[in-house]
Chain A
C-alpha cells in the first residue's frame, strides 16, 4: 500500500463529488455531493497523517474537526433547502435561477 493510491482514490472521490455537485438537479443530492467532497478531503488527511506524520497524527485531529463541521454544515444546508422548499415547493436547482443578470 502506498500513499499515492490513497491520494488517487481521494482525488477520484473528489472528482465524483464535483461531478455530482455541478450536475445534480436535486438540492439534497448537491448536499450529498458536498459530503463526498469532504470525505475525499478526510481520506487525504488520514492518508497523510498515517504516512507522513504517524507520531503526532495532526491529520486525524483535522479529520475529526472536518467531520464535526461537515455535520453542522449539512444541518444548515438541509435547513436552507427546507426553507427554499417551503417558499417554492420544489428542490430543483434549475428553478433557483432568480438572481441572474
Chain B
C-alpha cells in the first residue's frame, strides 16, 4: 500500500488542482442559492487526502534512494521536453509541509473568511497554489520549474487581488505580478542561456555537468545572474521586495501560505540550482550580497513598521535573505532546514496575528495592546512562533541558524556576524510586536477583544504543537547538527544575540520606562525605515519613470511618424486628386490643346531616332 502510494505520489498536485476546480461552482454567480461554504469543505477534503497520501509516501521513501519518473510532454525536432519528477525524501517531505500548512491555512480560512462570499474564488486559488507548490517540489527539471513559477505568479496576482474593489488591493496585485514577472523573465533568459551550455535542464544532470564544466566565466556569470534574478523576485529580495509589502493587502489566510511557502518557492529553485550558480564566484558573491543586504535591511524595516502584517512580511524577506546567504555559501542543507523552520514558525506568527486582526479590526500595532490576559492562546502562539523563528535553543530556528552559522564560521566569518545581527534584530522586532499587541494597557481598539472561534484556534494550536515538536522530529530523522563537532562559540553568540535582542525589546516595549510611541533622535532615519527606504519612490523615479517616458516616446513615434507616413500617402493621393481635377477646365479649346500636345510629344518620341541626334548636335 505504502509502496503503491509512493509510486503514485506524483498525483498529489492533482488532488489540490481537482479541489481548486471543484471549488469554482460555488462562486456566487453559479450556485446562487446555498452559499459558498462547501467550496472550503471540498478543498479541505482534497488537501487532507493529499496530506495523507504524501505523509504515507514519505514514510515509504525514507532512507530509500531518490527515484526519477519521466512523463513525456513534448518532443519536437532537437528538443525533448520530458517532465522529470523526483521522488525523494526531500521532495516528498516538502510536499508534506506544503499540504500540511495549506490544510491548516484552509481550516483557518473557514473561520477567517466566515463573512465573505468569495470562498469559491478564494479556495480555488488556494488549490491552485497548493498544486503549483507540490508540482514545483516534485519537478526535477528547470524548464518545468519555470513554468510552474509563472503559473504561481499569475496565481499571486489573482489571490492578492481577491477583494478587487479596494484600490490598494488592485495596485498591490499589480506590483506583485509585475515585480515577480520581471524576475521570472530574467529567469527565462537564464534558463534559455543554460541550454546551449549544458544541453539539459534536469537538475541532477545540471549538477553533473557543473562538476566538470569548463565554460567562459563571463557567460556563466551572466547566465548565473539571470538565474538568480528569478528567485530574487520570488523571495522578495532587495530590490524586488516591495511586492511582498503590498501583497499584505490580500486576505489573511493566503498570507499564511505566502509568508511560509510561496516565497520559499524561489529559494527551492535557487537551492536546486546551487551547483550551477557556484560555477561562478561572482554569482556566489552576488547571492550572498543580495541576501545579506536584504536580511539586514528587511529586519531593520520590520522594526520600524506599524502595520502588523507588514512587520511580519519584512521579517520574511530577511529570512529569505538568510536562505540566499546559505545558498551563496554552499550551505544547501542549512538552507533547506532554514526554509522548513521558517515556514512553520512564520505560518504560526501569521495565524496568531490573523486572529488578532479578525477580532480587533485594526492592523496598527500602535492601536493594539493589553491582549495577553484575554488572548492567551494567540499570545502563546505568537511567543512560540517567535522563539521557533529566532535562535532560541531547543526550537527549530535555532538549529537552522546554528547550522548556517557553523557552516559559515570557517569560510566567511563576517557572514556569521550578519546571521547573528539578523537574529538579534528579528528577535527585537518580534518581541516589539508582541509587546505592542499583547503587553501594556488595552487601547480603544482592544478594549473588548474576545478569543477567536475554533476554526482559527485549532490550526493555530496544531501548528503550535508542530513548532514545539519540530526539534524532536528533526532529531528522530537525525537532521540536527551533531553537538559534538559544533563550534561552541557560534552557539554562544547565537544565544547571546537572541537574549540581547529579546531583552532590549522587552525593556523598551514591555515596560513603561520609555514613553510610546517611540521617537528616534533622528527622525529621518525612522522615516527612512518606516517607509521602506522609500522604495516606491525609488521605483517611480527610476524604472517606472524611464519605462513611462519610453512608452510615451514610442507612442508619439507611432502616432506621428509611423501613422504620419501612412496618412501622408493617403493625404497625398487626396490632394493629388483635389489639385489635378483642375486639369478638367471645361474649355474645349484647352482639351484640344492637350490632345495636340499629347500627339506632338508622342510623335516626337516615336520619331526621335530620325532627328533626335541631329537636333542634339545642333543644340549643344
Contacts and interface: CB of A to CB of B under 8 A. Distances in A.
Given A18-B596, A22-B593, A96 B581 contact: no
Residue picked from B585, B588, B589, B592, most chain A C-beta under 10 Å: B589
Contact of B589 (A93, A98, A99): A93
Interface residues of B, number: 12
Nearest to B587: A97
B592 A100 contact: no
Contacts of A22: 589-590, 592-593, 596
A97 B581 CA distance: 14
Interface in B564-588: 581-582, 584-588
A29 to B, nearest CB: 11
Interface residues of chain B: helix, strand, loop or mixed (majority): helix
A21 interface: yes
Nearest to B582: A101
A93 B587 CA distance: 7
Residue picked from A30, A98, A101, most chain B C-beta under 10 Å: A101
Nearest to A101: B581
B574 to A, nearest CB: 15
A99 B584 CA distance: 8
B399 to A, nearest CB: 95
A80 B244 CA distance: 93
A73 interface: no
A97 B585 CA distance: 7
A30 B589 contact: yes
Contact of A100 (B586, B589, B593): B586
A21 B585 contact: no
Contacts of B589: 21-24, 30, 93
Which range holds the interface residue count of chain A?
A: 10 to 19
Nearest to A97: B586
Contact of B585 (A23, A24, A100): A100
B94 to A, nearest CB: 83
A98 B593 contact: no
A53 interface: no
A55 to B, nearest CB: 29
Interface in A1-59: 18, 21-24, 30
Interface string A72-100: 00000000000000000000011011111
A98 B592 contact: no
A101 B588 CA distance: 13
Interface in B232-283: none
A98 B587 CA distance: 8
Interface in B582-614: 582, 584-590, 592-593, 596
A100 B588 contact: no
A81 to B, nearest CB: 12
Given A21-B589, A30-B589, A93-B589, A100 B584 contact: yes
A99 B593 contact: no
A75 to B, nearest CB: 19
A18 B594 CA distance: 12
A53 B127 CA distance: 108
Contacts of A23: 589
Contacts of A100: 584-587
Nearest to A94: B587
Contacts of B590: 22
B581 A21 contact: no
Contacts of B593: 22
Contacts of B587: 93-94, 96-97, 100
25 contacts: A18-B596, A21-B589, A21-B592, A22-B589, A22-B590, A22-B592, A24-B589, A30-B589, A93-B588, A94-B587, A96-B586, A96-B587, A96-B588, A97-B585, A97-B586, A99-B586, A100-B584, A100-B585, A100-B586, A100-B587, A101-B581, A101-B582, A101-B584, A101-B585, A101-B586
Given A96-B588, A100-B584, 8 more contacts: A21-B589, A22-B593, A30-B589, A93-B588, A93-B589, A96-B587, A97-B587, A100-B585
List the 7 closest pairs (A to B, CB-CB), nearest first.
A100-B586, A97-B586, A101-B581, A22-B593, A101-B584, A22-B589, A99-B586
Interface of A: 18, 21-24, 30, 93-94, 96-101
